[in-house]
A and B are shown apart, each in its own frame.
Chain A
Amino acid sequence: MNARIRLAALVSLTMLVALIVASTYWQAWAAPDLANKSDNSIQLVSEFTIDRGRIFAADGTTLAKNRIVHRSNTTYYFRRYPLGSLTAAAVGYATLTKSRTGLEHSANDYLTGADQSLAGAIKQIGDRLLGSTIHGSDVYTSLNLRAQRVAMQALGSNCGAAVAIEPTTGRVLVLASKPSYNPNDVEGHYNRIRDIKSPSCKPASPLIDRATQGLYPPGSAFKVVTTAAALDTGRFTPSSSFYDPGYCTEYGQQVKNFSDQSGPEVFGPIILSRALQHSVNSVFCNIGKTLGMRTLMNYARRFGFDSKPPIDLPSNAVAASGLYQHERLLSPSEDGLGDPGRTAFGQDKLLVTPLQMAMVTATIANNGKEMQPHLVDRVRRSNGEVVRIKPQPLAQVIKPETAMELTQMMESVVSAGTGTAAQIYGVRVAGKTGTAENGTGQPNTTWFISFAPADAPRVAVAVVLQNQTGTGGTTAAPIAREIMQAILSTALNSNS
């Protein structure tokens, strides 16, 4: 009988070995996957037992900190946002019931201390064995709080957004979206957020970060992309001459020049640089028709259109700019992308985000070299170790000469064109207005994109406003000027 007993023993031991194998599978192989499941309340709750890292503005002001709560014998670290709605668009929130958004989501690995170096990881295992609390890393952002405050104030009761980027590094200095919400209300007072109303737009959608995921027709602001293509291909120069009859013929139909335009209604003979200065649609319409849809969109793509900007925010909170039809991004190979004439002056199927337009502006400011936009400047681990995030170049989008010519043309927009409201005393400012029509009788979407100082840029800005009766030059340009001023004054202070 002993041979049979041995077989029964073998079967029994095989069953128990199978249990060890299965445990290994769940605890080693499948564990990271399971930790990311959205219904994993164990993971979610346990992450609140971690002393989550704080989030700071560039000047060291606390944007997110912890509120310690002792409940049923466990210490929980819940989030508080001392500045409330001011930086909600960038920082987001971390809650138990509504999960995480913004940097709280995208920088979660830093904040929970999961990004450790080997030495840090060993220390963390030690902490776990000793049962002491795990400390996350502090995140220092590039946000310029002063400019952020100015931007939020200047946007006021409008629905809109403003983005400011440091052109040479890609550091995001301002990320403002209005209407905003108080992240402290998400857990417990969600109804307050749901009830937010705006006099300027319906629905108010305060939780949507308009700066990174709001899609708006760019209007004439897109003309800088058209001009970049025109100059960079070598097909046109700033002094290429055109004739403006006051309209442009598209498929036999007359498309009239636009209210955004400054100067006379009909210019007659005009050169390209002057056409940009006064935002003359018919000239860009003709450039678009000459270059064709393919070249135009090719340049847009080089600036980053058609894909989500690689900013360090959750990808579901970032939208790609490009040609849209029925809320769907058209792929470049599709038919029916629209007509090049109207696309060239930013109408038709084009929809863009403020972040993308700020990137376009920053690229021109940075001699045609685009930098990856980022909010996280450096991370300070609990052991004092500091990790700096280095600026990453994305691509040389246009030739430096093209960027230089464009800069000069954009300077003339501010000095004596559609964007005079953005002038700053003693500083050379380059800019471009945009006023997109949303149909006859409908209010406009207004834009201003700019950078300063034009000879040594420290800031590039994009401002968008929904539902305006004025033009980009009268509504958005003053806001852009205030933001630039705030940044230039802090930059000077911190340099001294």
Chain B
Amino acid sequence: MSARTRELGILILVGLITVTGFASVYIARQNELSPGSLSYAGFFFALYLAAHLVARFTVPDADPYLLPMAALLTALGLTEIYRLNPTDALRQGLWVVIGVAAFAITLITLRHDYRRLESYKYLFGLSALALLFLPALPKIGHSINGARLWVRIGTLQFQPGELGKIAMIVFLAAYLHSKQEVLALGRLKDFGPLLAIWGCAMLVLVATHDLGSALLFFGIFLAILYLATSRLLYVGVGMTLFLVGAAGVYETTAHVRSRVTIWLHPWTIQPVPCPTRGGLLMQRQECESFQLVKSLYSIARGGFSGTGLGKGTFTLTNGKGLIPDLNTDFIFSALAQELGLVGVAALLLVLMLFVVRGFRIALQVDDGFSKLMAAGLTFGFALQTFIIIGGILRLIPLTGITLPFISYGGSSVVANFILLAGLMLVSQRANEAR
């Protein structure tokens, strides 16, 4: 069986799961939804069939599991978004269309040889920086929950950092591939670029007040640096510098300090001053850590088997929502309540499988740039998942970034489809060569 036929078979399976998901949401909430909701599943399947056909013509030998897994993750996200807010689901559906289009365009334009991207590395580097700093600009930059990650033009708003992440991975893979030998020597002057990028990451952190994005970018940078040079020392030094920088930002930025306090002590027995209420004394779980704590309650209520899709509790009896940003940053806690530990573990296993396939591609492909790019894209995917879910599960301080493929949000969906296309291009090359 050819790789693409296998892909089609798994996509049909994913299609069945999607129908089941929408059907259970419909059954649970039928006085609110119309049976037309089931057409979502059909529409979705047609969309992925199109993506499959594009892949069949452009990357026939590429890994057959990546596209169905992405389909499963987007379907799961869309089902939950639909359950939380049908209007948002319509928009998210449109974004998935745009994402699949971006996927197709990437595959079609780069189908002959994506490695020519290597020669445009500085263009990628500059656009990465531009995209990163865009939200920090006055007028168009926009901050949500104290983190300046958004750009708003008219009614359209997006997080340019998501695309910046991909541009930066391509730049780093190309740049470090060309400087591989020189850097491995470890001469002091070669640390220049390293320090420059550390400085940039810190600037992003200061400008956007967002620990999560800074951690994500710097983590990707260190990973690719290590893969290229094989120097664990660089990783150690880099992490130390990051911690020093983060400590500095912690000292100077109230927003970052508050995030750390919430992480360490989300519950207080005694009332403490609430910064958002002008220092009014109240328990922290009623104030600063409200969102994290309510999200943990949502996760805990899921228990082992979950409440079932459409049966979770996210609102008060008057219909007022309990958890802010539920369908973007906190979609995991909605899924955890409705699908339970069983569903969450399955979801995380799918994400792990995606990561395994990504690294497998990096292992199989034979040229340095492709290896660095595939490994970089995959590591970025894993680290982003860890930062957001780890924040929700209180493993690390909570920062608002999206869960790949699942969260509501246009820029995130489009960026992840481009990431997927990148991995499939590299995979095509690896399998072609054999």
Contact = CB atoms under 8 A, between A and B. Distances in A.
B390 A22 contact: yes
Contacts of B395: 18-19, 22
Contacts of A22: 390, 393-395
Nearest to B29: A73
Contacts of B230: 1, 4
Interface string B306-336: 0110110111111100100000000000001
B250 interface: no
A13 B300 contact: no
Given A22-B395, A27-B340, A39-B285, A45 B348 contact: no
A43 B371 CA distance: 48
A23 B299 contact: yes
Interface stretch (B130-138, B153-161, B349-357, B418-426): B349-357
A6 B355 CA distance: 12
B344 A5 contact: no
Contacts of A20: 344-345, 348-349
A74 B30 CA distance: 10
A34 B394 CA distance: 14
A15 to B, nearest CB: 4
B368 A16 contact: no
A129 B305 contact: yes
Size category, B interface: 35 or more
B382 to A, nearest CB: 4
A161 B375 CA distance: 76
Contacts of A96: 316-317
A129 to B, nearest CB: 6
SS class, residues of chain A in contact with chain B:
helix
Given A5-B363, A27-B344, A40 B308 contact: no
Interface string B377-407: 0110011011001100111000000000000
A43 B223 CA distance: 42
Contact of A41 (B304, B322, B379): B322
A128 interface: yes
Contacts of B299: 23, 26-27
Nearest to B33: A73
B227 A4 contact: yes
A72 interface: yes
A326 interface: no
A125 B305 contact: yes
Given A15-B383, A27-B336, A71 B348 contact: no
20 contacts: A6-B363, A11-B379, A13-B355, A15-B383, A15-B390, A16-B386, A19-B390, A23-B344, A23-B393, A26-B296, A26-B299, A27-B302, A34-B296, A41-B294, A41-B316, A42-B297, A71-B319, A73-B31, A96-B316, A129-B305
Interface of A: 1-2, 4-6, 8-9, 11-13, 15-20, 22-28, 30-31, 34-35, 37, 39-43, 45-46, 48-49, 69-74, 76, 96, 125, 128-129, 131
